[in-house]
Amino acid sequence: MFASGNLRSPLGRARGLGSAKEGLHHWWAQRLTSLALIPLTLWFVAGVIHLALGGEPYESFMAWIANPCTATLMILFLGVSFHHAQLGVQVVLEDYVSCHAWRTGLTIVTKFTCYGFATLGIVSTLICCFGG
């Protein structure tokens, strides 16, 4: 069944569905984003929780977000967490959705949605900083 020195079956070779050689990059990207998210998440919760729960007015939020360091960390948090989220949801879809068409379709929808919302959050942050 297997040619010597080649562990792939003839059917596997004919279909061309071998490793896409991108698994390592996905794995590494998920680990790097999670590492970055440890400090970013702690900063995010510490910064946001007063504004979200303390009944602070609009002006307090605008003064907070307009700080260059706050805006930078918020944009980093949005970009990194949505990147991490779409990598994670992709793995969940690959594990639980067996139909190839559904799996591919949902993965594409996930990636488009995550990057769309990340961009919306980043643009909103910038508008709050520079004035609309």
Partner 1 sequence: MANAAKPTIRPLSPHLQVYRLPLAAVLSITHRITGVGLTLGMLVLIWWLTSAAYGPDAYDQAMTYIASPLGLVVLLGFSLALFFHLSNGIRHLLWDAGRNFEIGATKRGNVFVIISTLVLTAAAWLLALV
Q: Which is nearer to partner 1, 17 or 120 (CB)?
A: 120
* Residue 100 CB, nearest approach to partner 1 (Å): 21
The reply on whether position 35 binds partner 1 by CB under 8 A is: yes
Distance from C-alpha of 98 to C-alpha of 5, rounded to nearest angstrom: 31
> HEC string of 72-114?
HHHHHHHHHHHHHHHHHHHHHHHHHCCCHHHHHHHHHHHHHHH
Name the residue nearer to partner 1 (CB basis): 18 or 58. 58
Of 8-16, 17-25, 27-35, 101-109: span binding partner 1 (CB under 8 A): 27-35
CB burial readout 103-123, b (16+ within 10 A) else e: beebbeebbeebeeebeebbe
Rule CB under 8 A: which of 41-100 touch partner 1?
A: 41, 45-46, 49-50, 52-55, 58, 61-62, 65, 74, 78, 81-82, 85, 88-89, 92
CB of 34 to partner 1, least distance (A): 5
For residues 44 and 1, what is the distance between their CA atoms, to the nearest angstrom?
56
109 binds partner 1 (CB under 8 A): no
Q: How many CB atoms lie within 10 A of CB 74?
A: 25
Rounded to 5°, the CA angle 36-84-104 comes to 160
Q: Which residues bind partner 1 (CB under 8 A)?
A: 31, 34-35, 37-38, 41, 45-46, 49-50, 52-55, 58, 61-62, 65, 74, 78, 81-82, 85, 88-89, 92, 114, 117, 120-121, 123-125, 127-128, 132
